[in-house]
Amino acid sequence: MTGTNPFGKTITTDDIVETLGFFDDWEERYRYIIDLGKQLPVMADTLRTEGRLIAGCQSQVWIDYQIQGGLVSFDVDSDAHIVRGLLGIVMSAYNGKLPKDIVAFDIEKYFDQLDLVKHLSPTRGNGLRAMVARIRHIAETELKSSA
């Protein structure tokens, strides 16, 4: 875990909503999303294991996490540029947050604000939901174990 993931810290959901709102068409928005993915730290090859792989994604997606000071920090990666960008969008909502805040966050409202899901292929949309489900499962598991 590098700890250098800027999403959820210096790149917030509000930043992404605001920036995507500046673009007039989805071609520009896709370029921005791909650029977001370039800001994710590179995941160590040793973390790209079967156990960290997300089922249901068209591309390969890995999610690892650590709890530090009660906060969940994620290390994520994908073999597809657009999916790395989608991971950045998701990380802006979840990275560096308390498990209870991850569970409470209305991700569907956030995606609606971005007008995102209807502009993804059905398989990409399913993959996005699979990423969110894994992250929520991690947070819910941590909440139960700390109760």
CB 93 within 8 A of CB 73: no
**Active-site residue 57, yes or no?**
yes
Residue whose pair of structure tokens reads 């999916």 in the numeric block: 83
CB 58 within 8 A of CB 47: no
Question: How far apart (Å, rounded) are the C-alpha atoms in residues 16 and 55?
Answer: 26
Which among 21, 26, 40, 15 is positioned nearest to 117, based on CA atoms?
A: 26
**Catalytic residue (choose from 57, 132, 135, 139):** 57
Which among 85, 140, 138, 95 is positioned nearest to 4, based on CA atoms?
A: 95
CB 51 within 8 A of CB 60: no
Positions annotated as catalytic residues are: 57
